[in-house]
Structure 1
Amino acid sequence: MAERLSATTTQAPKPTATSRGTLLGAIFLMATSSIGPGFITQTATFTVQLGAAFAFAIVVSILVDIAVQTNVWRVIGVSGLRAQELGNASLPGLGYFMAGLLLVGGLVFNIGNVSGAGLGMNIMLDIDPKVGAVVLALLALGIFLSKKAGLAMDRVVVLLGALMILLTLYVAVTSGPPVGAALKNSVIPDEFSALAITTLIGGTIGGYIIYAGAHRLLDAGVSGPSRVRELTNSAVLGILVTGVMRVILFLAILGVVHAGTALDPDNLAASAFEAAAGNFGYRLFGVVFAAAALTSVIGCSYTTVTFLTSSKKTTPRLTGFLVAGFILLSLVLYLLIGTAPQTLLVFAGAFNGILLPVGIGVIMWVAWRRRDLLNGYDYPKWLAALGTAAWVLTIYLAINSIQPAIDLITG
């Protein structure tokens, strides 16, 4: 697995407490961006549908996610360029096209994230969802309006990510899931679902999520061939953190399903938490849901703005103000129209579905053909081959994402 660098490559600097905090923040920014309201709903739905067999879909999706994420973080990090800048360098105007797709999809989904934050606060404290959404949106605004917005964002996403995992772990232990059956099905599933696998992959690395951590590291100055080890380790750990949360949530709900408890079809996850730990569990679900929505608001807003600004010319302070403005816009739209209508969410999903293969296609093109953008780094062919195979799968995901939008237009 030895990898060759150019003769001018210097030895990687030793990690400091600050750089370790930044790496951890990037890992959790990526992970918690994917752990949103949709993540929780998808996991609950497929657990009820597939039971222990859902474990196989989780394992496969994690492996594919690692193949894609490792390539994306390495190419962006080694080049020192954001995804849309690589797009424009590969084909003039392509980066602007990518940014436009992300802006449309990101804004619609962020309205949904703000709505989810309000719902979580309602479950947790019995307050009006719109009041709850305002409270959490103001908290997110405070993060990006602070003078050390990057540091504040890193700490908040790590804290909330750890909180979600620990609270869900408590419910998983309480529900008493059949761990043996889950382990067996992770290798030899009783039932195979291609839909579950493609849905999980799209939900974990689709749209803006795949770029969140890599762009954060660029903003923190972690880039260049000398940082390959840190970039690779961070990418893998980000997917593993997401996978851990997915597995724990799956086990928490599986225990309830295995016991034969009937769940509320309108809110499978909340009723599973309540069945496992009573009213206390129901309130815990509110905390987890609100935290998931808040971190998704942070990740979505930050990454969308990084697609609209320059990594070289835009100051961190201006970036913070722009992110705060995007959050405020999302909140205002939610208060005016309520949660994003299903039609808009489907179209936003289609935009994200298009962005995924386009963005990964750019990354793989640079990996294979544009060594000039990689500062002389000799990209590992085995890693590029893995990424290319995963890219083909994202094209299939894009087709699945676009079809619902076509159905809406024609039907």
Structure 2
Amino acid sequence: MLKKWFRNIGPGTLVAAAFIGPGTVTLCTLAGVNFGFNLLWAMFLSIIATIVLQEMAARLGIISQKGLSEVIREEIKIPFLKQFITILILAAIVIGNASYEAGNISGGILGLETVFGEFKHNFGDLTINFMSLIIGVIAFVLLFIGNYKFLEKALVALVLLMSFSFVITAIVTKPNVLEIFKGMFIPKFSEKSLLTIIGLIGTTVVPYNLFLHASLVKERWHKKEDLKFAKKDTIVSIILGGMVSMAIIISAASILSKDILNAADLAEGLAPLYGEFAKYFLALGLFAAGITSAITAPLAAAYVAKGCLGLKGGLQSKSFRFVWMIVLLLGVLFSSIGIKPIEIIKFAQVANGMLLPIIAGILLWIMNKKNVLGGFVNTKTQNIFGFIILLIAVFLGVKGILKVFNVF
């Protein structure tokens, strides 16, 4: 039974790998440090919303055997609208992932530095961090091989390593199980926690994962009979990813100090209380979170560019490789010399803030089109859940854009 499940796991795990990046780890750490178990309910709702949307993306990919960006390009007939949405998708995901890639690599570095210390060298006024080159090379090799099954196995192994590391860390802190369940099922929020709640949802329900998932499932499955495998894969993988996020919140809730800014600080804070091995488990998890996101972000950007621009060829094609190489190269460059392209990141955040509600709306529209999905269109229940998530996405999008401009 277990062997059969492992044989059919894959694309969903890559989606989980994509949303549990260093940003999510840091945000979950701060949520636990500042609010204890009180915001576990926000993560629980985020997991449900992610499962609903990702299941739609997976179903679309298997039945149409096309990526989401390809279907959007074909189904939107108004030239101006098609052009606007294509540009927005490319800006938010290709440019956005290039600017976020430095953060993914830097997160992996934090995990390595917690265990091995810093590996930096000064060249005049320039300081190079060699750890980012190590992570960049690992990501490059895995992507360049261009074999989907190999890439999938490598990422599944990294996600299982990450899950094991963070869950063990949470268990070591001996949390109050009753308080955990209260935090999950009894919503509590205040004005102070509003931004953190929005952040927890925003880092879990990620627009680029919808494109990534629709493209990945058609690499793995080709028949409508495979939908049951994709559904199980999606549900189990997203729950696994959610458990990782919750484990980080639970671990951070046990720290009394408020001087915690990221997961590396949390690792140092856990060491005197729960022993050095707690620190090493957390550092290993942070490294795995950084490297998995450092691989999936360029991969998603390449799939999106391929669909939006109508590029031909698969994972080993020159055009596909060119896109992910640029994204990865920029990430390594910015990370190794410590540059934070603030203006590009702000632009990407605005584009992503606009993209999530637009894509959620378009996905709902497409999932009700019989010419695309035949008898596999959404049920009424799926549409109701989808519409509720769309409203949340609109709120998150508006809030995210206003936050960038310091309006609210």
TM-score with structure 2 length normalisation?
0.85
> In the alignment, which of 251, 254, 259 is matched to residue 264 of structure 1?
259
Distance 1:389 1:189 in 2: 17
1:47–1:253 CA contact under 8 A, matched in 2: yes
Is structure 2 residue 30 aligned with structure 1 residue 45? yes
Match of 2:102 in 1: 111
Whichever residue aligns with residue 241 of structure 1, its letter is: L
**What's the CA shift for 1:359?**
1.4
SS at match of 2:215: helix
Aligned to 1:187: 185
Shift of 1:218: 1.8
1:31 to 9, 12, 16: 16
Residue segments in structure 2 that go unaligned for 5+ positions in a row: 77-81, 121-128
Q: Which residue of 2 aligns with 1:301?
A: 298
Q: Structure 1 segments of 4 or more deviating over 6 A?
A: none
Shift of 1:378: 4.1
SS in 2 for 1:33: helix
* Identity rate, percent: 20
For residues 188 and 14 of structure 2, the distance between their equivalents in structure 1, rounded to whole angstroms, comes to: 34
Q: Which amino acid is the alignment partner of residue 262 of structure 1?
A: S
Query: Structure 1 residues 149 and 264, CA, compared in 2 at 3 Å: closer, same or farther?
Result: farther
- Structure 1 contact 160–291 (Cα < 8 Å) conserved: yes
Quote the offset at 1:320 in angstroms.
4.7
Partner of 1:365: 365
Give the Cα–Cα distance (whole angstroms) in 2 for the partners of residues 275 and 87 of structure 1.
53
3-state SS, counterpart of residue 61 of structure 1 = helix
Distance (Å, rounded) in 1 between the aligned partners of 2:303 and 2:73: 15
CA shift for structure 1 position 164: 1.4
The aligned residue for residue 57 of structure 2 is 72
Q: 1:31 is aligned with what amino acid?
A: A
CA distance in 1: counterparts of 2:399 and 2:229, whole angstroms: 34
Matches of 1:164 and 1:317, distance apart in 2: 28
**1:122-173 deviations in whole A, cap 9, x for unaligned?**
2221132621111011011111222x53122111211111111212222222
Note the C-alpha offset of 1:55: 2.0
Aligned residues: 384
**1:401 matched to which residue of 2?**
400
Residue identity opposite 2:205 in structure 1: I
Cα distance in 1 for residues equivalent to 2:223 and 2:370 = 13
Aligned to 1:198: 198
Q: Go from structure 1 to structure 2 and tell me whether the alpha carbon gap of 1:227 and 1:312 turns closer, same or farther (over 3 Å shift).
A: farther
The residue correspondences of 1:328-343 to structure 2 (distance < 5 A) are 328-336=329-337, 338-343=338-343
CA offset digits 1:201-240 (Å, max 9, x no partner): 21012231333233211233x2454333223222222321
Q: Report the Cα distance in structure 2 between the residues aligned to 1:159 and 1:20, rounded to whole angstroms.
A: 11
Q: Cα deviations across residues 8-37 of structure 1 (Å, max 9, x unaligned)?
A: xxxxxxxx97x964x422121100111111
**Structure 2 contact 20–241 (Cα < 8 Å) conserved:** yes
- Work out which of the residue numbers 76, 91, 94 in structure 2 matches 1:100: 91
Give how far 1:98 is off: 1.4
2:340 and 2:225 map into 1 onto residues whose CA distance is 43
The letter of the residue matching 2:60 is V
Match of 1:244 in 2: 243
Equivalence for 2:376: 377
Q: What secondary structure is seen at the aligned counterpart in 2 of 1:316?
A: coil
Contact 2:60 2:68 survives alignment (8 Å): no
TM-score normalised by the chain length of structure 1: 0.85
Higher mean C-alpha displacement, 358-367 vs 73-82: 73-82
| Cα deviation code 1:174-226 (max 9, x no counterpart) | 21111211112322245465544332221012231333233211233x24543
Equivalence map 1:71-90=2 (5 Å):
71-90=56-75
Aligned in 2, Cα 1:149/1:325: closer, same or farther, shift over 3 Å?
farther
Question: Residue type of the partner of 2:91?
Answer: G
Distance change >3 Å, CA 405–CA 173, structure 1 → 2: closer
- AA partner of residue 226 (structure 2): R
Aligned counterparts of 1:61 and 1:210: Cα–Cα separation in 2: 14
Q: Deviations over 1:92-128 (max 9, x none)?
A: 3333431232112111111211222222222221132
1:275/1:176 CA distance change after superposition, 3 Å: farther
Q: Give distance in 2, aligned partners of 1:138 and 1:276.
A: 35
Shift of 1:349: 2.2
CA–CA distance in structure 2, aligned partners of residues 120 and 383 of structure 1? 39
C-alpha deviations, 1:237-280, integer Å up to 9, x for none? 232111111122222222x23xxx32533335334433443333
2:10–2:233 Cα contact (<8 Å) kept: no
Contact 2:89 2:355 in 1 (8 A): yes
Contact 1:85–1:95 (CA under 8 A) maintained in structure 2: no
Supply the distance in 1 between the matched residues of 2:385 and 2:376 (Cα, whole angstroms): 18
The alignment partner of 1:214 has SS state of helix
Letter in 2 for 1:85: E
**What amino acid maps onto 2:23 in structure 1?**
G
Query: What RMSD over aligned residues (CA atoms) do the two structures have, in Å?
Result: 2.6
Structure 1 residues 281, 293: CA separation in 2 closer, same or farther (over 3 Å shift)?
same
Task: Verify the 8 A CA contact 1:264 1:271 in the aligned structure 2.
Answer: no
Q: In structure 2, what is the Cα distance between the partners aligned to 1:276 and 1:219?
A: 46
8 Å CA contact 2:14–2:155 kept in 1: the answer is yes
Whether 2:275 is the aligned partner of 1:278: answer yes
Which residue is 1:10 aligned to? none
Q: Kindly provide the amino acid, as one letter, of the partner of residue 304 in structure 1.
A: A
Structure 1 gap ranges (5+)? 1-15
1:159 — aligned with what? 157
